Every structure is written in structure tokens, then in C-alpha cells.
Amino acid sequence: MEDKMLSVTMVCCLLLGASAAQTWKQKVVQLNEQRAKPPGQQPKAIPQEKEVFREPLSWRYPDPPAEEKPRFPPSFELKTPAPAQSVSASCGDNSVRVEAKKDLLGIGKPVLAADVTLGGCPATGEDPVAQVLIFESELHGCGSQLLMSEETFSYVFTLLYTPSPLGNIPIVRGREVSISIECHYQRKQDVSSSLLKPTWTPFTDSKISEESLYFSLKLMTDDWQFTHPNPHFFLGDKLKFEASVKQFQHIPLRVTVDSCVATVVPYVDTVPRYAFLGNSGCLFDGQLTGSSSQFLPRVQDDKVQFEVEAFRFEQDNSGVLYVTCSLRATAAASPVTSTNKDCSFADGWREASGNHRVCSCCDTDCGKGGASDLLKTGSPLEEERTVGPIVVKDRPL
């Protein structure tokens, strides 16, 4: 019985498989026939028609409201704010002091101290109570400029405020401010700015002391015969100086040059300054710069001559020089000493009178000499003399 049922089942499965295979084969034949038909016999596309509105729309965009004219007050005046009185300055003999309020712009907003400089120099102090920044500088410091006229000379400083950026935000709430500050000074009575006049008056400084001594410092011609008539020189020229002393009631004297300082104004305590002679009579310029500056051999006790290669100060376009020397008188019969000498450097130190051994201290410390041994009066026989203005220019190309 079981064998008969199994046989029937197998026969049914075979019949179903044969029927399915026949159906699949017919579908493949039909698909190939459709692909083989020419394009004209393809099924027609369904036509599409665009919808057209036969009547106009009745809706419209609303009209914009009428533009309202601006209304102004009947009487209006734009007020110009008063300048902010935020900077003050006081000028001294050798320095300047500038005070700037932290509300520099006068808008009620304090500025950063680091954003304000005096010619590039930061504030030297701050008053937290008064909210004031303080700047102090020498007259030749902090980028000052020297201006000279017939009667005065002036130092011009610039107070500059540069606001720091507000991070990456592309806006500013301040602006750069540049404020000019000027210090004016009268020239000395014995100094003249008439540089082109062929007179010696501006270039000689001499005086009769209480001890009836007449000290003199002159700028001489190349042959040492005359006082130089014109103060204009070029780089490479030699400035020839002659120092002398005349006595009226004293025994014969010897003059020596104790020190010399070059400045751009007739004051020794200013910057820039160049002390080219010092240490009780040592002319350093030849040793420091390799120049030929030197004392000439002495031919008279009451007169000594020295020459200095012309120079000018860096970053000073005026080329103006003042040379101030301290002159000293001692008894001509007294020996030349390490504190009363005139030494210059040229392959070693040499003294104008020939006593070269007294120059050995020029590389160390020669001490400070005096003239109290000349007379027992208690009055020093030493005076400062100034020559200038001297103008040193570049040689034309």
C-alpha cells in the first residue's frame, strides 16, 4: 500500500515540474518576440495635456504702504564735541615729562597702557587714582627730533596711540592718535645761528676768570694761522682746535685739555653725546675709532693744539655739533703729570710735551688733577669752553 502511494506522489511531482517548465519557456518566447518587433509597432505613449486657466485670477498682491516722510525736530544743530584735554607736558633743561589721561579719546573708555607710546617708548609710570599715564624722557630720547631756528631750538616728540585689534571681530571702537609735543629753548647769548657769516663770534668761547686768567678755545684754519671763518666741514676733514691761556698777574702757565664732549646742542648733559677726550687729558678718538685724531707736539706752554676727524651723530640729519672742553692751567715750571697732560693714541699713547710715560694710565684711571698747588687762593684754575655750532655734511658724490 505504501509503495503505491509513493509511486503516485512521484508521478504528480513530475507532472507539476513539466508544467512549470513549459510555462516558463512560453514566457521567454513571448519576451523575445516583443523585443524583435520594429519601433513602429511599440505601444503608443499616453498623451499628456497642460491645464490652462480660461479665466484670469482675481487675487492680487497688496500694495505697499505709502512711504512715511521723516520728521525732524524744528530746530536741530549738530554739536561738535570739544577737544579732549587729555595730554599735558612739562619741559625741563634736559628732559621732558608727559602725562596722558587713560581716557585719551575723551569718550569715557580707558585705553590700554601698552597701546600708548612716546616715540616708541612705553609709559614709565602710572597714577591709578588720577587714571594718568606718565612718560619721562631725555630731550634726545624716544625718537625726538631737533629743530633749530634763528633764536630757538626745539625738541619735537610724538605721543602715539595705536588701538589693539578686538580679536577676530572686524570692527574698531577707536582710532590711531598722533599728538605732537614740542619743547622750545632760547639759544645762549654767545651762540648765533648765522652759520654763513664769516665771523668767529659764534665759534669762540673765552672768559677772564676771577684770577685774571683768559682761557680760549678756537677752531683754526688748516695752517693754524687764523681763526676759522666758516663753520661748515665735510666728513673726512679735520677739525683743528687750539686751547690757550693768558695770565696777567700770574707766573707763566701751562694749559692742558682735561676733557671734551661733543653734543648737538650747547649743553654737555644731553644725549646723544660723544666724550672723545677724558681721563685727565687722554684723547680717545684714535683708539676707539681708528682715526688720526691727535695732539700736535707742544711748542708753547700756554697753548696746545689738537685735531679731530670730522664726524656727525647717527640718525641726526642736521650734522650740527657743539664741542665743550674743560681747560686747566698749571705752573709752566711744574712737571707734566698723569693728571695734567695731553695724550693721544697712535700706535700707543704719546704726550704732547714728549713725556710719554705719564700716558700709561690712559687705559685705566688717571685720577682727577687740580691746580691748587699753583696759588694758595682756593680758586680752581679750570674753565669750560664751547665751540659751535659746527656743521658737518656728507661729501658730495
Neighbours of 177 (CB within 10 A): 19
Query: Which grid cell is 39?
Result: 519601433
Please give the average per-residue pLDDT across 148-156, as a whole number: 78
Task: List, in sequence order, every residue forming a beta bridge with 305; answer none if it has no partner.
Answer: 242
Q: What is the pLDDT of residues 269-314, one digit of tens each?
A: 888 888 889 888 999 888 888 888 899 999 999 899 999 888 888 7
Q: Which three cell numbers stand for residue 27?
A: 514566457
- Please tell me the pTM assigned to this model: 0.52
What domains can be seen in the chain, in order of their start residue? 87-186 (2.60.40.3210), 201-393 (2.60.40.4100)
| Res. 73: pLDDT tops 80 | no
pLDDT at 26: 67
- Mean pLDDT confidence for 27-55: 63
Cβ-based neighbour number of residue 147 at 10 Å: 13
Report the alpha-carbon distance of residue 89 to residue 171 in Å, rounded.
32
Residue bearing the bigger pLDDT, 22 or 63:
63
Q: Could you tell me if residue 367 is left (phi over 0), alpha (psi between -120 and 50 degrees) or otherwise beta?
A: left
Classify residue 267 as exposed, middle or buried by CB count within 10 Å of its CB (0-12, 13-18, 19+). Answer: middle
**7 SS3 class:** helix
